[in-house]
């Protein structure tokens, strides 16, 4: 790590195997950013226990934490160059989150749409952790004074909250420049990959239907089968972007193709204009298999040596803690805690 200027931080929850949305919306950009800036990438295991009824089988959390770590590395995150660790090994995240719980306002959290979506009709049965999830996320980022946060579109509102918390802390404790106001980095044609079964819902790890998503661990046959079964309408592909209006499922598949091929959406439309979706789906399945197979193979090799994955996470947490500890110590002093 050189300095705190232009420091990137991002994380994913080990709630299940990562999917194509996580890869195209976030991970692919993480790998690119590594070449340009100092980066810290985290497996946010403390966030992962906020969902469901607040309970996750311990062995599932452990397995998913290692699997997500393997996915990061297999996709190109370099644990030598970049700090890669799991959140629970750095206690400064939880400590700062508590202080931020006392900075953030209830009214701010009440506006968070992800909580509304995830808690559904049974808000009173959700964990308190799910409600304060974005506060912990602000602590994750600001414990390092990170300036850039590559995320998918769905996290934009949480980033705005992190900026509000940083700003209020700076004002309340009369330290105008103490925390930077972190910027979301939302790039590429697939910032919001939708479910393969319902073009109005985002692709998600916790969707009950496995056919709604392509997992980074799916084999070639499964990927092809899921794409073939993906919902579309009966019209052929349009000859220009305008023709995708009101056709969410079609638009989603075209965006996925463009993101995987590193091409613009217009170029993809020009290539397949007027063709039936069955042809396009075959091409998309081939492309997805070509792009995901090397990642999948590497993940499998990495997961065969769990001790090595645990060692990488431990060493990454020591490096992370060396940055976070002095920042959080300074926060303690500003707040007025003794000791
Ligand atoms: N469908 C998506 N399209 C584009 N980006 C996405 N991300 C998630 N889903 C999509 C991005 O992936 C990163 C990690 O997300 P997360 O693990 O923190 O949780 P999430 O956003 O809640 O993702 P999921 O898959 O929907 O998980 P569950 O089901 O566990 O809640 C983030 O940068 C996110 O923007």
The predicted-structure confidence for 314-329, as pLDDT tens digits, reads as follows 999 999 999 999 999 9
Task: Please identify, by atom number, the ligand 1 atom nearest to the C-alpha of residue 193.
Answer: 3
255 lines ligand 1 (CB under 6 A): no
Long-range contacts of 312-316 (CB under 8 A, 24+ apart): 312/69, 312/73, 312/79, 312/84, 313/43, 313/65, 313/69, 313/84, 313/85, 313/86, 313/89, 314/85, 314/89, 315/79, 316/79, 316/83, 316/84, 316/85
103 lines ligand 1 (CB under 6 A): no
How far away, in angstroms, is 22 Cα from ligand 1 center?
5
Of 306, 317, 297, the residue nearest 64 (C-alpha): 306
How many of the other CB atoms lie within 10 Å of CB of 108?
16
Q: What would be the CATH architecture of the domain defined by 7-191+305-335?
A: 3-Layer(aba) Sandwich (3.40)
pLDDT digits (tens, 9 = 90+) for 175-215: 999 999 999 998 877 788 999 999 999 999 888 899 999 99
140 lines ligand 1 (CB under 6 A): no
Show me where the domains of the chain are located: 7-191+305-335, 218-300
pLDDT digits (tens, 9 = 90+) for 62-117: 999 999 999 999 999 999 999 999 999 999 999 999 999 999 999 999 999 999 99
> What is the H or E stretch that residue 48 is in?
helix 45-48
CATH 3.90.1150.10, applies to 218-300: no
- Spatial separation of the C-alpha atoms in residues 198 and 211, rounded to whole Å: 10
User: What pTM value is reported for the model?
Assistant: 0.93
206 lines ligand 1 (CB under 6 A): yes
Question: Which are the catalytic amino acids?
Answer: 118, 202, 205
In this structure, are residues 166 and 182 in contact, taking their beta carbons and an 8 Å threshold? yes
pLDDT digits (tens, 9 = 90+) for 238-258: 999 998 899 999 999 999 999
Of 251, 258, 290, the residue nearest 24 (C-alpha): 258
Q: Residue 2: is its pLDDT beyond 70? A: no
**Tokens (6 digits) for 234:** 């009966």
- Substitution candidate for ligand 1 out of 22, 68, 138 with most atoms within 8 A of CB: 22
How far away, in angstroms, is 236 Cα from ligand 1 center?
30
43 lines ligand 1 (CB under 6 A): no
């Amino acid at each position: 790590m050189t300095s705190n200027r232009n420091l990137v931080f991002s994380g994913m929850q080990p709630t299940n195997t990562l999917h194509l949305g996580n890869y195209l919306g976030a991970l692919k950009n993480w790998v690119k950013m590594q070449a340009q800036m100092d980066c810290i990438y985290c497996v946010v295991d403390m966030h992962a226990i906020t969902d469901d009824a607040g309970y996750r089988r311990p062995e599932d959390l452990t397995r998913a934490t290692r699997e997500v770590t393997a996915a990061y590395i297999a996709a190109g995150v370099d644990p030598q160059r970049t700090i890669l660790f799991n959140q629970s090994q750095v206690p400064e995240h939880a400590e700062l989150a508590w202080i931020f719980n006392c900075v953030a306002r209830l009214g701010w959290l009440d506006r968070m749409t992800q909580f509304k979506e995830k808690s559904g009709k049974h808000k009173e049965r959700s964990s308190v952790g799910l409600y304060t999830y974005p506060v912990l996320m602000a602590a994750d980022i600001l414990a390092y004074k990170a300036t850039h946060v590559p995320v998918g579109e769905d996290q934009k509102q949480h980033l705005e909250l992190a900026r509000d918390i940083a700003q209020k802390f700076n004002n309340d404790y009369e330290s105008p420049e103490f925390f930077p106001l972190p910027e979301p980095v939302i790039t590429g044609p697939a910032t919001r990959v939708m479910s393969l079964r319902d073009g109005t819902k985002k692709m998600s790890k916790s969707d009950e239907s496995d056919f709604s998503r392509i997992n980074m661990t799916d084999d070639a046959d499964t990927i092809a089968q899921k794409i073939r079964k993906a919902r579309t309408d009966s019209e052929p592909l349009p000859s220009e972007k305008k023709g995708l209006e009101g056709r969410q499922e079609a638009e989603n598949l075209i965006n996925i193709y463009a993101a995987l091929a590193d091409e613009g959406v217009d170029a993809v439309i020009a290539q397949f204009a007027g063709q039936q979706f069955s042809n396009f789906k075959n091409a998309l399945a081939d492309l997805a298999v070509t792009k995901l197979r090397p990642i999948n193979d590497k993940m499998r090799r990495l997961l065969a040596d769990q001790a090595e994955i645990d060692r990488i996470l431990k060493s990454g947490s020591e490096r992370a803690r060396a940055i976070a500890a002095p920042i959080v110590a300074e926060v303690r002093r500003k707040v007025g805690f003794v000791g």
